[in-house]
Amino acid sequence: MAGRPKGGEGREEITAKPETCVLCELSQGESATITEIARAYPHPELLEGYGIAAGVRVVRERTAPQGDPIIFHVEGRLVALRREDAMHVLVRREGPK
């Protein structure tokens, strides 16, 4: 019996509702509130150290010339996150800052 490929095995998929998305999908200047961090994310302490936690408001400021990292305004400071890390953070969109 032929099965489907198991690509991405071991990764937790976050399914976003229409008003939600993952952090790296915000547009420049768009704000959002963090709703959750994927349980399967291997380095939650990294994000917590940057102030990334449920209930915190973030604004996407800009992106590095090569597209990575992405710069966010988080609790009064600028935080640079790799796209790979930002993909594990689910947010609720609010609009432009």
Is pLDDT above 70 for 2? no
pTM of the model: 0.76
In the chain, the amino acid numbered 58 is V
The CATH architecture one would assign to domain 20-96 is: Roll (2.30)
Tens digits of residue pLDDT in 18-69: 688 999 999 999 999 999 999 888 988 889 999 999 999 999 999 998 889 9
Q: Yes or no: say if 16 and 22 are a contact pair by the CB < 8 Å rule.
A: yes
Is pLDDT above 70 for 7? no
Q: Output the pLDDT for position 96.
A: 64
H helix intervals, 43-93: 44-49, 83-86
